[in-house]
């Protein structure tokens, strides 16, 4: 197990931006929200595609201003995490249902639907 203080050692993308061709642009650029960039907690405004800083002064910054900083990721709320997981479970469940429909085998119907229901209910598991 690595150290929690370990640095990003990926030299193909040393600053860890989601799209190496667009350094300074966060994950989910179409959504406004907070992101951890370098030693900063920044707010990304999707409408203007710029960062808003608070410290030392409030200012709008271009993505390029943070392109050299290491991107750690979005700061998600518990509600956002729940929504993302529910969406992923739904995509998995649909794959099961689609697999059944393509198979044409009636005996697989209950199994596929049962698995799809279990996937959808994963969020309710302890």
pLDDT tens figures, 29-68? 999 999 999 998 999 999 999 999 877 778 999 999 999 9
Specify whether 66 is located in the same domain as 89: no
First-to-last CA distance in the chain? 26
Specify whether 37 is located in the same domain as 87: no
Percent helix, strand, coil in the chain, to 5, is 40, 15, 45
Specify whether 5 is located in the same domain as 51: yes
pLDDT for 66-97, tens place per residue?
999 999 999 999 998 999 899 988 888 888 77
Structural domain that includes position 61: 1-75
Distance CA 116, CA 29 (A): 31
Distance CA 47, CA 15 (A): 24
Instruction: Tell me the two tokens of residue 7.
Output: 């640095």
Specify whether 32 is located in the same domain as 20: yes
Specify whether 91 is located in the same domain as 68: no
């Amino acid at each position: 197990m690595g150290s929690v203080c370990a640095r990003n050692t990926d030299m193909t993308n040393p600053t860890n931006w989601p799209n190496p061709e667009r350094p300074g642009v966060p994950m989910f650029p179409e959504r406004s929200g907070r992101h951890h960039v370098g030693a900063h907690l920044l707010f990304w405004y999707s409408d203007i595609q710029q960062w808003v800083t608070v410290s030392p002064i409030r200012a709008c910054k271009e993505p390029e201003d943070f392109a050299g900083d290491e991107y750690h990721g979005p700061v998600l709320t518990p509600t956002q995490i729940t929504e993302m997981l529910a969406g992923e479970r739904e995509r998995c469940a649909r794959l099961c249902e689609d697999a059944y429909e393509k198979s044409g085998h009636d005996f697989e119907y209950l199994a596929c639907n049962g698995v799809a229901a279990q996937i959808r209910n994963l969020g309710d598991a302890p």
